[in-house]
Structures are given as C-alpha cells and as structure tokens.
Amino acid sequence: MKKNNKIFIETYGCQMNFSDSEIVASILTNDGYELIPNVLEADIIFINTCSIRENAEDRVRKRLYYFKSLKKKNPKLVIGLLGCMADRTRLALVEEEQLLDLVAGPDSYRHLPDLIRQISKEIPAIDTILSTDETYADISPVRIDSNGISAFISIMRGCENYCSYCVVPFTRGKERSRDAASIIEETKDLFEKGYREVTLLGQNVNSYRWTNEEGTINFAQLLELIAEVNSRIRIRFATSHPKDISDELLYTIARHDNLCKAIHLPVQSGSDHILGLMNRKYTRKQYMERIEAIRRILPNCAISTDIISGFCEETEADHQDTLSLMEWVGYDAAYMFKYSERPQTLAAETLKDNVPTGIKDQRLQEIIQLQQKLSLERNKLEIGKTVQVLIEGRSKRSEDHYFGRTIQNKVVVFSKTIAQPGDLIKVKILSVTSATMIGETVES
Ligand code: 5AD
Ligand code: SF4
C-alpha cells in the first residue's frame, strides 16, 4: 500500500461521466490507492466535471473553493480536476485561481498514477490531450456507490455530430467504438457478480461500429449479442440520435424480452427552423416518422426525450411547435433545459443568444408543466396492469417498501416481500403520480 493513498472522487454530469469515474477508480486502485467515501479523510480529491451548461461549471467552481479550504488543515492535500472542464478551464483554475494541483482530460486517465507522482515534485500536473482511439476497453471498472444490481458499461466515446449548442465534441473528442468482445465479457462478468441490469452508454449509440477480421458489428447486432449473454439480465442503452435510430434496432429490441422497452430519443425542439439552426440533421416530420416506427414495432415502449428552451432565434411560434410535438408524442419522461451558450460551439461563434432569460425561463416552465401532465397520463395507462419489476432496493421513503423498475424504466414502489433486490417480481399497479407508480405484489 502507498502512503497518502486515500482518494475521494466526486462526479458531476452525465451517466458517461459516472462510468468514467469507475474507470478512474480502477486505474488508481490497481496502482495501490484506496477509494474512500469521506472527503474529509482524503489525501487526494478528484472532481470529475461537466461542461454541458454554465451552471454545471459554476457548481464545480464552488466545490473547488471548498476543497481548497480543506488544505488549511491538510496542506499536503492534492486536488485534481478530471473530465469535460479539464481543457477549457485549466488556465483559469490552475494559474489564476490556483485551485488545482492536477488536471486530466477524459482520455488521460491511464496517466493519472504518473501525473500524481509528478505533483509530488510541486509542479501542477496537466494532461488534457484527446485521443482518437482510447476506449479503456481492457479496464475493468471499480463500481462506485453501486446497488449491486445495475451497472453502466461504456461502449463508445466522443461525438462528431456537432449539434450547434453542444460542447461535447470539443471536450470528449472524436467518436470511437469499443471492442465488442470486451463489452460482452464485461456483461458476463457483471452477471456472474449478481448484477441484473446494464446500461450501455455512448453519446450516440446508434453509430456504434466495431470491425475485426470476422467483419463489422453495428449497434443492433451488439445489442443482440449482449441480450444473449443471459435472458435474466436486462439491457438498457442511451443515448440514441433520431437521425440514425434504425428499424433493424427496433426489431432487435422487439425480439428479446430482456432488451428494455424504453427509448431515449432527444428531440431538443419541435420547430424545423430551430432544428436547422441546431444542426440536428432531421426535421420535425422525420422525427415523427421515427416515433411512428417505435409505436408500430414496439407498441409497449416508453419514450423519453431532452428539450432545450430558448435556443438562439426561438420565437413564440417555434416554442408552440415544441409543445405541440410533445403532446403528439406523449412522452413518458423528459429532461428539460434552458439554453446556455457554450464557448467554442457553432452557436456561440455564429448565432446570437438572443432570447431574454425571462422568456427562456417562462418557456421552460411551460415545457415542464406540460411534461408533468403527459407523464401522469402515460403512467395512468399502467393502472390495473400487472408488470414485472426488477427490485433495486429499499424505498427511500419507507423501510417497509422496496422500489424497482419496470421494463419501461418506470419506478414502482411496493410493500416488501420475501423477494430480494435483484429478483424479478410481479406487481399490480394500483395508483400513480407523474414520477412513481405504487403497486402490490402478485403471486406468480
Ligand atoms: N444548453 C442547454 N442544454 C444543453 N444540452 C446540451 N447542450 C446544451 C446547452 N448548451 C442538453 C441537450 C442534451 C442534454 C444532454 O443536454 O438537451 O441532449
Ligand atoms: Fe457528459 Fe456532456 Fe457533461 Fe461531458 S459535457 S460530462 S459528456 S453531459
């Protein structure tokens, strides 16, 4: 064991970032470090950051000032910044604000042990170079805060879609897929350790492509191979881009009971004018055609989305187009955001962020209110049905209740039975809110 080896990792941002923190944990524990849950006992603090919206960056900055205050008691404390903020903010955070001893970008995690050794010589250690082929395929993640039932598997990295609002192509670099065999091995390993659900992650999983001597595997084929690892493990995935979600993929999902009937299909806006400015590469009509395909091939599938309010040049009519499309689709759930201009992006360089904050807020509120109504309507359709639930653990609100999820990714709360987390159980839905369903177990 090393001296000063206690590491605390705090993560912000998307599921991909949480998955990255598990890769970081693996690299460091293999090098003799110990991962600890209490920041006050740490020798090294890593903060894995997100740049997607300005407020995500603001939160990180606040935390860094708090971490710096801990140095008064422990002058040897090392503070490192990982992830999407690494490249853009390193100058300000390292030189001007002197908050950091180490900075590592998303493709530099293998170098962390070396970088930590460098700082012991009192030089801030920085590596933010993006790679074209790093996928961490051979690294077996150390699960953090795991419930032992569900886990993330990262299947590709980077993004080359260049949506005009989005910073990800700049923070995470070129798109690259991970070796299919290593993904299947990781799934098998998780199953053997008792996991019963995996979520395959990538910025745009539909463009997954892996080629070796035997040929090329696309995302639908990968999904089928993973579904066949064991019928008792559920498979989810995120995120799909509407421009390339294929019928082949939908038919594959239909063929396997353990492939989840839940598709996250970010629409961002319902207006063709705004979709064009966003460089989304589909029209409202094309998006609707994809939703129709999902409803036709997977009639019982839940659909969720991401929506941005107040993008550049958005008029009231554009906003109404978004609301009407939401109604038409009847989303089960949505992540809803106010547009925030990000440096380097096409929108920052070529468009005016000209919707006043008050209007962005007001439109966002209307979007959120509508979505609550839609979620409730969709959940009401489940009342009286008996559904299969994967038990994840004890309900946060009550010791006597479990919670779990349906194959559609809906949360269900019900009284504890002899069944255990990780078991599949039949539950009859009795009542619902827009966020949760309440049920009772049914003898099978
Ligand atoms: N402003 C607001 N929301 C954004 N998103 C991405 N970039 C921005 C931005 N600059 C949202 C999109 C995306 C989700 C992950 O975050 O809706 O799908
Ligand atoms: Fe994830 Fe994007 Fe945030 Fe990076 S910027 S952590 S890719 S959401």
pLDDT tens by residue, 351-393 = 999 999 999 999 999 999 999 999 999 999 999 999 999 999 9
Phi, psi of 305 (to 5 degrees): -155, 170
Q: Whose CA is nearest to atom 17 of ligand 1?
A: 306
- The CA 75 to ligand 1 mean position distance, Å, reads 38
Q: What is the pLDDT of residue 92?
A: 78
Q: Whose CA is nearest to atom 6 of ligand 2?
A: 50
- The CA 48 to ligand 1 mean position distance, Å, reads 18
Q: What is the tens place of the pLDDT at every residue in 414-428? A: 999 899 999 999 999
Q: Are 341 and 355 in contact (CB under 8 A)?
A: no
Phi, psi of 421 (to 5 degrees): -50, 135
Q: What is the pLDDT of residue 351?
A: 98
Whether 50 is in the pocket of ligand 2, judged by its Cβ within 6 Å, is yes
For residue 259, the 8-state DSSP code is B
For residue 141, pLDDT over 70 is answered with yes
Which ligand places an atom closest to the C-alpha of 335?
Answer: 1
- The CA 28 to ligand 2 mean position distance, Å, reads 22
Which ligand places an atom closest to the C-alpha of 16?
Answer: 2
Q: Which of 9, 11, 84 to mutate to test the pocket of ligand 2 (most atoms within 8 A of CB)?
A: 84
Superfamily the domain 150-380 falls into: tm_1862 like domain (3.80.30.20)
Which ligand places an atom closest to the C-alpha of 15?
Answer: 2
- The CA 67 to ligand 2 mean position distance, Å, reads 22
Q: What is the tens place of the pLDDT at every residue in 169-203? A: 999 999 999 999 999 999 999 999 999 999 999 99
- The CA 51 to ligand 1 mean position distance, Å, reads 10
Q: What is the pLDDT of residue 104?
A: 96
Q: What is the mean pLDDT of residues 18-45?
A: 96
Q: What is the mean pLDDT of residues 8-33?
A: 96
Whether 360 is in the pocket of ligand 1, judged by its Cβ within 6 Å, is no
Whether 14 is in the pocket of ligand 2, judged by its Cβ within 6 Å, is yes
Distant-in-sequence, close-in-space partners of 39: CB < 8 Å, separation ≥ 6: 8, 10, 45, 67, 70
Q: What is the mean pLDDT of residues 208-213?
A: 94
- The CA 17 to ligand 2 mean position distance, Å, reads 7
pLDDT band per the 50, 70, 90 thresholds, residue 88: confident
Cα distances from 250 to residues 130, 240, 309, 310, 393, in angstroms, run 33, 12, 29, 32, 30
Which ligand places an atom closest to the C-alpha of 203?
Answer: 2
Q: Residues of CATH 3.80.30.20 domain(s) within the chain?
A: 150-380
- The CA 13 to ligand 2 mean position distance, Å, reads 5
Portion of the chain with pLDDT greater than 70, in percent: 99
DSSP structure string for 130-184: --SS---TT--PPPSS--SSEEEEE-EE------TT--HHHHH-S-EEPPHHHHH
For residue 90, pLDDT over 80 is answered with no
For residue 235, pLDDT over 80 is answered with yes
Q: How many residues make up the chain in this entry?
A: 444
The residue type of 356 is P
The reply to whether omega before 89 is within 30° of 0 (cis) is no
Q: Whose CA is nearest to atom 7 of ligand 2?
A: 168
Q: What is the mean pLDDT of residues 393-422?
A: 94
Which ligand places an atom closest to the C-alpha of 351?
Answer: 1
- Cα-atom radius of gyration of the chain, to the nearest Å? 23
**What does the alpha-carbon distance between residue 320 and residue 411 come to, in Å, rounded to a whole number?**
30
**CA count, 13 A, side-chain hemisphere, 72:** 3
Cα distances from 38 to residues 27, 42, 79, 390, in angstroms, run 20, 7, 15, 30
Q: What is the pLDDT of residue 177?
A: 97
Q: Whose CA is nearest to atom 6 of ligand 1?
A: 166
**What does the alpha-carbon distance between residue 33 and residue 4 come to, in Å, rounded to a whole number?**
8
pLDDT band per the 50, 70, 90 thresholds, residue 221: very high
- The CA 418 to ligand 2 mean position distance, Å, reads 40
Q: Residues of CATH 3.40.50.12160 domain(s) within the chain?
A: 6-127
**What does the alpha-carbon distance between residue 266 and residue 165 come to, in Å, rounded to a whole number?**
14
Classify residue 256 as exposed, middle or buried by CB count within 10 Å of its CB (0-12, 13-18, 19+).
Answer: middle
Q: What is the pLDDT of residue 1?
A: 61
For residue 61, pLDDT over 70 is answered with yes
Q: What is the tens place of the pLDDT at every residue in 279-306? A: 999 999 999 999 999 999 999 999 999 9
Domain 6-127 annotated CATH 2.40.50.140: no
Q: What is the pLDDT of residue 443?
A: 76
pLDDT band per the 50, 70, 90 thresholds, residue 4: confident
Q: What is the pLDDT of residue 444?
A: 63
- The CA 308 to ligand 1 mean position distance, Å, reads 6
Q: What CATH class is the domain 386-441?
A: mainly beta
Q: Whose CA is nearest to atom 3 of ligand 2?
A: 50
For residue 339, pLDDT over 70 is answered with yes
Q: What is the pLDDT of residue 121?
A: 62
Q: Residues of CATH 2.40.50.140 domain(s) within the chain?
A: 386-441
Whether 268 is in the pocket of ligand 1, judged by its Cβ within 6 Å, is yes
Q: What is the tens place of the pLDDT at every residue in 102-118? A: 999 999 999 999 999 98
